[in-house]
């Protein structure tokens, strides 16, 4: 299985998070990608390749132009405003009775307009790294479209919390959504996204909530108790044409593999009904028992079982990395998923359909 990654993705290097009412050391750091890359290279899993350059057109198919303009111009506006800090945090949002139709220009107002939380700092190289991460996702999708059973996009920063016109949850471009839309634009009738991150992929859900051509399935910590709180509940089934094509499995804190695997089996049954041309896996690795911001209880060998269960679907599969912050164990857990998947690949390459429309 090939892995796609660019060193440009390391240029986003936040120093702090705002979490639990405190300024803390950042957890979405370059070391995450470095340890995964190192472990993949040591494992002999497959070749590591650079992403191709796709430009912003595929990203525009998912994200609003005004949002992208803000992200592209942010650092210049930040410094022009006399700000000297190395990273910026939003602190005010247009909620409830505040107006959404005001053409704001102040940098702090723009930060609030285009964000969902105060824990995702923007820096000088954030958007450059996010664009490289999107190119990684697109190249991974392209490899599978061209006939690979599966490929892994080492996306960093992650993407699944980023919505059509906002960033948050350490996410600035929604890599899974961009890849799914690209596959649709290149002939796929149906694409499914299976999100196994500990946190609900609220951005991905919001992008496809009204559509029946992209199914979104998410297993995650119950948002009654965990970020993002305001999306990811079981009664969110999609709207209009998308009704029935969005499904959430909110699970209680303390969930381990046995209970999780039952929900995963249910999600896989829905994938069997939908029969997508391609499956995109938003591969969060933060269900791990030692993850600093997780309440689930996966052990490292459970990730192997996760990979095996996905392989049983026998679908062309695009793995894209999302969360996972226990850096010391992150590489092993990631490789366990991919090796578990590879262990059940059919010996005859013709046993699988490669994205027939």
The domains located in the chain, with CATH, are: 2-63+128-349 (3.40.800.20)
Give the pLDDT confidence score for residue 353 in this predicted structure.
Answer: 44
Per annotation, catalytic residue among 161, 199, 200, 220? 161
φ, ψ at 192 (rounded to 5°) = -120, 145
pLDDT attached to residue 346? 65
Q: What span, in angstroms and rounded, lies between the C-alpha atoms of 205 and 224?
A: 17
With cut-offs at 50, 70 and 90, classify the pLDDT of residue 85. confident
The predicted model scores a pTM of 0.96
**Rounded-to-integer distance, Cα 83 and Cα 253, Å:** 40
Q: How far apart are CA 270 and CA 247, in angstroms?
A: 9
Spatial contact of 216 and 247, defined as CB atoms under 8 Å apart? yes
The yes-or-no answer on residue 161 being catalytic is: yes
Longest pairwise C-alpha distance within the chain: 61
Cβ contacts of 247 within 8 Å, gap of 6 or more: 215, 216, 217, 218, 237, 267, 270
Q: Is the pLDDT of residue 20 over 90?
A: no
Q: Is the pLDDT of residue 354 over 50?
A: no
Note the pLDDT tens digit of each residue in 146-156.
999 999 999 99
- C-alpha separations of 316 from 150, 242, 332, 343 in Å: 6, 23, 23, 15
Q: How far is CA 276 from CA 170, 225, 313, in A?
A: 29, 32, 11
- Per-residue confidence at 345, pLDDT binned at 50, 70, 90? confident
């Amino acid at each position: 299985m090939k892995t796609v990654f660019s060193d440009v993705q390391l240029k986003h290097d936040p120093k702090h998070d705002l979490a639990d009412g405190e300024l803390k050391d950042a957890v979405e750091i370059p070391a995450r990608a470095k340890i995964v890359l190192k472990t993949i290279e040591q494992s002999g899993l497959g070749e590591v390749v650079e992403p191709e350059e796709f430009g912003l057109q595929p990203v525009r198919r998912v994200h609003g132009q005004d949002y992208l303009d803000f992200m592209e111009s942010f650092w210049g506006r930040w410094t022009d405003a006399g700000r000297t800090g190395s990273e910026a945090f939003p602190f005010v949002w247009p909620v409830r009775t505040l107006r959404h139709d005001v053409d704001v220009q102040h940098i702090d107002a723009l930060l609030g307009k285009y964000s969902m939380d105060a824990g995702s700092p923007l820096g000088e190289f954030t958007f450059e790294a996010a664009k490289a991460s999107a190119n990684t996702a697109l190249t991974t999708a392209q490899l599978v479209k061209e006939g690979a059973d599966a490929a892994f996009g080492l996306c960093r920063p992650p993407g699944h919390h980023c919505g059509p016109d906002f960033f948050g949850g350490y996410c600035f471009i929604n890599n899974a959504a961009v890849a799914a839309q690209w596959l649709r634009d290149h002939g796929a009738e149906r694409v499914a996204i299976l999100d196994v991150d500990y946190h609900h992929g609220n951005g991905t859900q919001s992008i496809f909530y009204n559509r029946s051509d992209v199914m979104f399935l998410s297993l995650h910590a119950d948002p009654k108790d965990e970020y993002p709180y305001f999306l990811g509940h079981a009664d969110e089934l999609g709207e209009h044409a998308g009704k029935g094509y969005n499904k959430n499995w909110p699970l209680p804190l303390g969930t381990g593999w046995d209970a999780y695997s039952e929900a995963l089996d249910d999600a896989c049954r829905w994938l069997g009904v939908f029969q997508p041309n391609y499956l995109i896996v938003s591969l969060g690795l933060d269900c791990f028992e030692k993850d600093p911001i997780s309440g689930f209880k996966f052990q490292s060998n459970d990730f192997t079982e996760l990979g095996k269960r996905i392989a049983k679907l026998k679908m062309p599969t695009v793995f894209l990395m999302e969360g996972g912050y226990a850096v010391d164990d992150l590489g092993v857990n990631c490789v366990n998923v991919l090796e578990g998947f590879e262990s059940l690949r059919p010996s005859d390459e013709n046993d699988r359909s490669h994205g027939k429309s």
